[in-house]
Amino acid sequence: MGVEPNDWHEEQRRIDLVAEEIGKKETKLYAKATGLKEDVIEIRKTFWDDVTVNLDEPDDVIETQASIKQQAEFLAEKERFHGKIGEELKVLKRMKKSPYFGRIDFKEREEELEDKLYIGISSLLDEKDEEFLVYDWRAPISSLYYDYALGEASYEVMDNTVKGHITLKRQFIIRDGKLKGLFDTGITIGDEMLQEALGHNASTEMKNIVATIQTEQNRIIREERSKLLLVQGVAGSGKTSAALQRIAYLMYRYREDLNPENVLLLSPNPLFTGYIRNVLPELGESNVRQNTFLEYLRERIGEAYTVESPFAQMEYVLTQENNQDYQTRLSSMEFKATLDFKKLMDQYVGGLQKGGLYFKDISFRGEVLISREGIQEYFYSLDESVSLPNKMELVAKWLISELKPFQKQEIKKDWVIEKVELLDKEAYLKAYYEAQKLDEDMFINEELVLRKAVVRKMFGTLRKQIENLEFVNSMKSFKQLFITDGIKGTPENWKAICKLTLEHLSKDYLSWEDATPYLYFKGRLIGDGQERAVRHLLIDEAQDYSSFQFAFIRHLFPYTRMTLLGDINQAIYVNVTSHNPLVPGLQEADHERITLTKSYRSTKQITMFTKAFAPGEEEIEAFNRDGDKPKVLRLSEWEQKQAILAERASNLEKGHEMIAVICKTLQETENVYKQLKDEVQITKITEETYGFSKGFLILPVYLAKGIEFDAVIIPNASSEQYREEDRTLFYTACTRAMHDLTMLVQAEPCRFILESEEDTYEMVGV
């Protein structure tokens, strides 16, 4: 049944009525917010007027503290309520422009009348708070919109299944309160809606996709049963967007029990973290904890060691083939990424129960109080059945008790009185009052109190270091793994790997392949504080994590539900896919696997070109959005700069706002950037870039993961530049393009271009 002209008028009339209702709610909320703001200001002004302050007696002090706490909590509650109203107003402001995007008419079984259900980014009740004008897209009933065509349908609510019949499914495009598009469809989301959403220019920030969620994406969003959700999605399939909507759904579904601190999202790089930062706020939710795995490791390892980034490791692999240690380093990367290396480390750690652990001296003012040998002797006197971390805690308690005699001895020494003279008035006053309580000579007591205060403070720092288990020499114990002979299950060139590893460690440098193993090892020695607060962990670009890294993450988050999203076709790091959970066929306990095969980002022409050389065997479907064929320009090396500038100009004429030159390496990025920077405004993106603006950009491919651009220019797509081992890199670079893709080649095109059918691209300059 087609859309009648009268339907347009009726739907616009309803939009106007909803906008009017939103206006009323805004007015009420503004009045509340104004009143609350005035209350907060007044409470801040008169805070101490309403607090009873009396410090004469201990009971009075307790009463004063309680009074201050009560007043502070009262103020905090007012401020929280004011902030909540502010968030509600932001949502209403967004809804006023586009109150909803979908409608379904649903008739429950055994009910006479059908309900007209309008779906939007948030729920909206009428003036009396009785009837829903708009249902939140995350509400159980809204799943009907995403999961069913016309006909029989059902949804789950409160452990019950509500069954019925969908008689109408309608989609809207509403801009600034005006109806711009209206489609009736029998499928989940009509092509018209997707065409409208996907046909625009790329953005510097990812947008929410609640209006265009597909059935398979909805499965990702609402999956609640599995402890491990695996999402293999081809480039541009919307897996990251679905993951963010999943977070919003979980925050809505478990609002009483789940807060932003309980959810952690690991992103591939800082640029991507910035790219997705506005999706959750757009949906009325606070941003959850976001981090890169590199940042996570660096925070835990601390500043004592320099930790190589995965991007620096990748740059080494791509540019340092002539380095004398190159093959050894590759072998090291490959072995240390495996579960075999983890098994070797576990065996080594087990052996440390009998001997081989190293400790540090406990020193004070240059004098060794307790030697490392003494600590080692005490450690190995403890029962072997006690775990290493528990033993460390016992040693810490022993060390603190052993410090007490030394602390008493230091009080009488001359250096203490020098420190006493540097104390402030408050310390002297405190000492005076303490001395008064003693029966002996006042002056002697005051000096003694001050001496004790100085020594207590100095030893307090030492005690804190012991409590933090800093007496354990984790690094020296770790190095011993690479010195020990006769270790079974190692590669043939293990000695060369050990030599290279020790060279790095001697410079306090942790290569990317050593960072996770070292942190895992340190945790096995002293405990690693498992992240029990994190209830949901989402890992994007999961195909780039090694087997060892996954095992480490599971070790840290033993009770956490995980969502892994990625694309095996875009696995750009060394030897990470062999045991990656995203690989089909690998057995994972208590898991759900969802595969997304349709690419929505690129035009049909770009998708048909790139699927021919996709590294994996996964099916790839093109979305039916037409554009120009990818273009291959054959030219001389000295023509590269002019060709890039000409392509930029051509893309600007088409209305493209984000044009990216994507290079294979940072080294190539630097070289091409130098050619262009004096000719045109161009922004270079590095691993330290946290955000970017629309315009002309240049970056290495490994920093483009997860981001899309209107047009992509690959400055050197020749056979010399991209070889078989670079297949995933080239595929990733090409699939960043939404509308236009241009590849420049000197001499022979790379093999991946030639693998595509000749009619899927245009060769220019033959």
Task: Render 590-615 in DSSP notation, one character per residue.
Answer: TEEEEEE-EE-SS-HHHHHHHGGG-S
The alpha carbon of 535 is separated from its chain's Cα centroid by a whole number of angstroms, namely 14
Say whether pLDDT at 190 is over 50: no
First to last CA, the chain: 52
- Overall average pLDDT of the 300-307 stretch: 94
Residue whose C-alpha is closest to residue 408's, from 476, 344, 483, 459: 459
Percent of the chain beyond pLDDT 90? 48
CA distance 732 to 613: 11
- Overall average pLDDT of the 457-466 stretch: 88
> Who has greater pLDDT, 45 or 707?
707
Count of positions (residues) in the chain:
766
Q: Which of 140-154, 187-201, 293-307, 434-448 has the lowest mean pLDDT?
A: 187-201
Say whether pLDDT at 3 is over 70: no
Single-letter amino acid code for the residue at 732: T
Say whether pLDDT at 188 is over 50: no
- Overall average pLDDT of the 183-206 stretch: 56
Q: What is the pLDDT of residue 45?
A: 61
Consult the annotation and say whether 234 binds a ligand: yes
Alpha helices in 184-307 (DSSP H): 191-198, 215-222, 239-253, 270-275, 279-282, 293-301
- Overall average pLDDT of the 297-313 stretch: 94
Say whether pLDDT at 32 is over 80: no
CA distance 738 to 109: 45
Say whether pLDDT at 629 is over 60: yes
CA distance 553 to 559: 11
DSSP letters for 544-595: GS-HHHHHHHHHH-TT-EEEEEE-GGG--STT-STT-TTSTT---TTEEEEE
- Overall average pLDDT of the 578-598 stretch: 71
Q: What is the pLDDT of residue 186?
A: 60
> Who has greater pLDDT, 197 or 6?
6
Consult the annotation and say whether 240 binds a ligand: yes
Residue whose C-alpha is closest to residue 699's, from 655, 657, 726, 729: 729
pTM for this prediction: 0.83
Say whether pLDDT at 754 is over 90: yes
C-alpha R_g of the chain: 32
Single-letter amino acid code for the residue at 212: T
Say whether pLDDT at 225 is over 60: yes
- Overall average pLDDT of the 175-203 stretch: 64
CA distance 573 to 705: 12
Q: What is the pLDDT of residue 196?
A: 52
Contact present, 71 and 50 (Cβ < 8 Å): yes
Say whether pLDDT at 265 is over 60: yes
Q: What is the pLDDT of residue 691?
A: 78
Say whether pLDDT at 745 is over 70: yes
Give 388-446 pLDDT, tens digit per residue. Answer: 999 999 999 999 999 989 988 888 887 877 777 666 666 655 655 555 555 554 445 66
Q: Which of 252-261, 378-387, 736-745 has the lowest mean pLDDT?
A: 252-261
Q: Which of 401-405, 444-448, 487-491, 531-535 has the lowest mean pLDDT?
A: 444-448
Give 226-240 pLDDT, tens digit per residue. Answer: 889 999 989 888 888
CA distance 273 to 295: 12
CA distance 489 to 338: 12
CA atoms within 13 A on the CB side of 172: 24
Phi first, then psi: what are they for 377, rounded to 5°? -65, -45
Consult the annotation and say whether 210 binds a ligand: no
Consult the annotation and say whether 18 binds a ligand: no
Consult the annotation and say whether 3 binds a ligand: no
Q: What is the pLDDT of residue 36?
A: 61
Q: What is the pLDDT of residue 613?
A: 94
CA distance 546 to 544: 7
DSSP letters for 418-484: HHHTT--HHHHHHHHHHHHTSSS-HHHHHHHHHHHHHHHHHHHHHHHHHHTTTTB-HHHHHHHTTT-
CA distance 478 to 475: 5
DSSP run (H or E) holding 710: strand 709-714
Percent of the chain beyond pLDDT 70? 84
Phi first, then psi: what are they for 710, rounded to 5°? -60, -45
Q: What is the pLDDT of residue 402?
A: 93
CA distance 344 to 494: 13
Say whether pLDDT at 566 is over 60: yes
**What sign has the CA pseudo-torsion 602, 604, 606, 612?**
positive
Contact present, 543 and 577 (Cβ < 8 Å): yes
DSSP run (H or E) holding 174: strand 160-175
Q: Which of 125-134, 195-204, 421-430 has the lowest mean pLDDT?
A: 195-204
Say whether pLDDT at 324 is over 80: yes
Q: Which of 244-258, 379-393, 639-653, 704-718 has the lowest mean pLDDT?
A: 244-258
> Who has greater pLDDT, 62 or 15?
15
| Both structure tokens of 391 | 């033993």
Q: What is the average pLDDT value for the chain, to the nearest integer?
A: 85
Q: CB within 8 A of 344, min separation 6: which ones? A: 487, 489, 490
> Who has greater pLDDT, 43 or 84?
84
Q: What is the pLDDT of residue 610?
A: 96
- Overall average pLDDT of the 162-166 stretch: 94
Consult the annotation and say whether 52 binds a ligand: no
- Overall average pLDDT of the 76-80 stretch: 64
